[in-house]
Amino acid sequence: MDKVDILLEGWVQEQKIPGGVVSVIVKNQFQFHKAYGSYSDGKVQRTIGLDTLFDFASLTKVVSTLPGILKLAGEGKINLEHKVKSYLPLFAHEQVTIRHLLMHSSGLPADLPTEPRSAHGRRVMDDILKQQLLTPPGAQVLYSDLGMILLGELIERVSGMPLDQYVRQAVFEPLGMRDARFNPDESLRMRIAATEFVDEAYIIGEVHDEKCYHLGGVSGSAGLFGSVDDLVKYAHLWLEPNKYGIIPSAFIQAALNEPLQNRGLGWEVLDDLQSPPYSCGTLWPRGSFGHTGFTGTSLWIDPSHELIVVFLTNAVHLGRNNPVRHLRRQLHDEIFAALFHS
């Protein structure tokens, strides 16, 4: 991992990222974990450590919402082919199924118009329910925060519990994900990497995503905070589902099989080698899967090599126009080359 180490140190020196944490695991036999850099809390520079908590951003979709839905499906409480409207009666689109929402193929728009964090009283769910479909359900992939927010609401309706409580009890605690949580306590503030500078202060311990912020910090699309250790433990669920008994292995496989335009259930799945998911890199094999988060987070898994790569940064600390999207691709190629092409 010498080249990887030099690469990450260089990105911090060049101020491409404020810092971050990388974790690389192969078959539980090879492990590399290291933290880099620091961030400002508005008063002092704080060093990033292996125990630093990050705003996972859209990793919430696959670390919270996806397993929540698959667990309910595995228990027979929902069916992925069921219409969303049968669970959320105010949802207008009769033909959209749970599967469509998970695969980002519902036809819903990607997002709502951005409103500032100070837009108090914004009714995000009402706005989502008013949206028209841009394409017929199942026709094409259009990555949508809105569909995942609806799935979070569906989990609450079916489980009878708030989303954050349900996934903590059903997923995080059984896996030993000790730091994974929505709306982290003030007592954890010193461990949480600050994200963007907004309204004359850095955001620390509050979700960066505006929609989730207006929803109270808990949603199906964003809001989860956690550590690198949490994501490593979660990744093992996808490599060894039978070991944990949380989600039946048939549902784990179903999430990764038959992707549409490199999108499985929740995950990006490398299916088209001519046009792989950008953040995955150019060297990883077909069947690799992963996801990213806008704040600068990512998790990628290659089941054929039992490879897990977690890369957590607070890249938006330096502003939204940052290069983390390109850096992930370079990092994944460097790691894969070091491990399997040397």
Q: Report phi then psi at 224, rounded to 5.
A: -80, 135
Best CA proximity match to 167, nearest among 95, 94, 226: 226
The predicted structure's pLDDT at residue 204: 98
Statement: the pTM of the whole predicted model exceeds 0.85: yes
Q: Which residues in the chain land under pLDDT 70?
A: 342
Estimate to the nearest angstrom the gap between the alpha carbon of 263 and the chain centroid: 14
How many beta carbons lie within 10 A of that of residue 272, not counting itself? 12
Contacts of residue 292, Cβ cutoff 8 Å, sequence gap at least 6: 58, 59, 279, 298, 325, 328
Q: What are the pLDDT digits (tens) for 171-222?
A: 999 999 999 999 999 999 999 999 999 999 999 999 999 999 999 999 999 9
At residue 13, what is the residue type?
Q
Q: How far apart are the first and last CA of the chain?
A: 11
The predicted structure's pLDDT at residue 46: 98
- As a whole number of angstroms, the longest Cα–Cα distance in the chain is 56
Beta bridge partners of 39: 46
Q: What are the pLDDT digits (tens) for 250-260?
A: 999 999 999 99
Q: At what angle do helices 66-74 and 249-256 cross, to 10 degrees?
A: 130
Containing 237, the helix (H) or strand (E) segment is helix 228-239
Given a contact cutoff of 8 angstroms between Cβ atoms, the answer to whether 255 and 234 are in contact is no
At residue 93, what is the residue type?
H
**Within a 13 Å sphere around the CA of 130, how many CA atoms are in the beta-carbon half?**
7
Please give the structure tokens belonging to residue 221.
């699309």
Q: Report phi then psi at 53, rounded to 5.
A: -95, 140
Given a contact cutoff of 8 angstroms between Cβ atoms, the answer to whether 166 and 155 are in contact is yes
Name all domains of the chain by residue range, CATH numbers in brackets: 2-182+192-340 (3.40.710.10)
Cα 118 to Cα 114, 115, 122, 214, 321, distances in angstroms: 12, 8, 10, 9, 22
> Helix (H, G, I), strand (E, B), or coil: what is residue 287?
coil
The predicted structure's pLDDT at residue 341: 86
- Within the chain, residue ranges assigned H as helices are 2-13, 59-60, 66-74, 98-102, 124-129, 145-159, 163-167, 173-175, 210-214, 228-239, 241-244, 249-256, 324-340
Given a contact cutoff of 8 angstroms between Cβ atoms, the answer to whether 40 and 48 are in contact is no
Cα 111 to Cα 38, 106, 137, distances in angstroms: 31, 13, 17
